[in-house]
Amino acid sequence: MKKYILCRVDEVFDPLEGSVERRPVTQDIRWPEGTVQTFAIHPTEPWALIQIVHPVNVLPIPGNIDADELPDVALDVKISAIHVATRERMKSDIAKRGISSSFVDNSDGYREVIRTLGQRVDPNFDEDRFGLPG
């Protein structure tokens, strides 16, 4: 199963490298074995788009982590098919990251929402290749 998450990015000093590294707050979560976490981070944006993939099911994010789970729907679902309360929560979660959420209502489907978020951090973002090696 795949899950998409918006989360805060922290700057962490790496004493071995002697430099500051930007990383998502979800990086320290102990996910179940077999879970793969991929993230897209912009050099200056204070948030990251995360994709979590697990063969069975992905557990909820602990409440003390500054991260918001996006709707648990397939990429090809139409925006109009996402329950109104779920869609409004997604828009609120996007807006609290400092991103205008008006694009959600103008999107045809959930794939377009994920693509738009991904392209804010990487202009070459491709939702179909997100999480794949190489």
Classify residue 134: in a domain, yes or no.
Answer: no
Q: Among all chains, which residue has been given the structure tokens 């500054």?
A: 66
Classify residue 33: in a domain, yes or no.
Answer: yes
Question: Are the CB atoms for 20 and 11 separated by under 8 Å?
Answer: yes
- In which residue ranges of the chain is pLDDT below 50? 134
Classify residue 43: in a domain, yes or no.
Answer: yes
Q: Among all chains, which residue has been given the structure tokens 């063969």?
A: 55
Classify residue 61: in a domain, yes or no.
Answer: yes
Domain total of the chain: 1
Report d(CA 86, CA 123) in Å as an integer: 27
Full residue range of the structural domain in which residue 76 is found: 2-121
Classify residue 37: in a domain, yes or no.
Answer: yes
Classify residue 47: in a domain, yes or no.
Answer: yes
Classify residue 131: in a domain, yes or no.
Answer: no
pLDDT digits (tens, 9 = 90+) for 38-76: 888 888 889 999 888 875 666 667 776 788 989 989 999
